[in-house]
Chain A
Amino acid sequence: MIAHEEVRELLSAYLDGELTQADGQRVRIHLEDCAECREAYAQLEKLRQVTAEMKFAGPPEDKMSELEQRLTVQAPRRIGWLLLVAGFVVWAGYAAYLFVVDPKLATFEKLTTGAIVIGFVLLLISVLRQRLLEMPHDRYRGVKR
């Protein structure tokens, strides 16, 4: 015979259908004989009924729509950037190849133009790197200046 106190501890899980079949059966049998446990169980059921009827305030719809926009727009934007950068790198590589193998241009022209392009790329990389490193520490990030 299952102890009264033991059943009291199982009532909550019984209400949720989270007991094993054997434990559920034992609680059911006890409830038939114990008015005190029946009352406690009825109160738990009533509590569940009241919570099921509760309705909560909705979200601010303008902010929710804004969030949806951000989530749906960001994915294609990322793919767009990826395609743009990939296309540019291939195109620039091909242009550099044509430039290097062009028999009409003198070596001097190739070297000076190459130096200008490499210098420009190095400067661009260094600025981008600096911006990326500073980004997490920028306390005004997202603030309109």
Chain B
Amino acid sequence: MGAAAQARPMTLEASVVTEPDDLAELFRRFRLRAFHFALQMLGNREDAMDVTQEAFLRLHRHWHRRDAGRPVAPWLYAVVRNLAIDSIRKRAVRKEEDAEAAPVEDFRPGPEILSEQNELRAEVWKAIGELPAEQREIVILREFHGLSYAEIAEVLGAPHTTVTTRLHHARERLRKRLEGFL
């Protein structure tokens, strides 16, 4: 039972020991993470690539204005998140214009973005997709990207307590929803 040894917080700093010197290095280290975050938010490779591209180009334009004393990764995550939300909004507008399309609330990233599927993983991903958007993004940042609560709070521009509470509620939902699988 793992209760005896409480897990140490897994953070971005732990996985990225030194700060990238320039954008090229940031790109090399974070291109896959940025793409996967966008993909997990959007559920579509093409849209995810567009968001990744725009995020890095935006960082490139504003690189000289960054605060050198602060870690750059949460900035990148925040930009990807904002662009992904914009992309979802644009998609919602397009769907509203199309009377045949499903309502916007039905948007859920499907299991096709998982490269190796099995029943349990597909079910867990489906359950994550069913979470409210503000809980889903926190679960994604925590579980798939290893951000600490402080880092997630920075990405979201939300208080630390909000992150703690939302993650607790999200996990309770997932636990109950997946009771027969876990």
Contact = CB atoms under 8 A, between A and B. Distances in A.
Given A9-B168, A28-B6, A56-B114, A43 B125 contact: no
A63 interface: yes
Chain A: interface secondary structure? Answer: helix
A51 B144 contact: yes
A16 B124 CA distance: 19
Interface residues of A, number: 46
A54 to B, nearest CB: 5
Interface residues of B, number: 52
Interface string A63-103: 11001101110110000000000000000000000000000
Given A57-B115, A59-B48, 9 more contacts: A15-B7, A18-B148, A28-B6, A51-B128, A51-B144, A54-B124, A54-B144, A67-B57, A74-B60
Interface of B: 1-4, 6-10, 23-24, 27, 31-32, 35-36, 39-40, 45-46, 48-49, 52-53, 56-57, 60, 112-116, 120-121, 124-125, 128, 142-144, 148-149, 164, 167-168, 171-172, 174-175, 178-179, 182
Interface of A: 8-9, 11-19, 24, 27-28, 31-32, 38, 40-48, 50-60, 63-64, 67-68, 70-72, 74-75
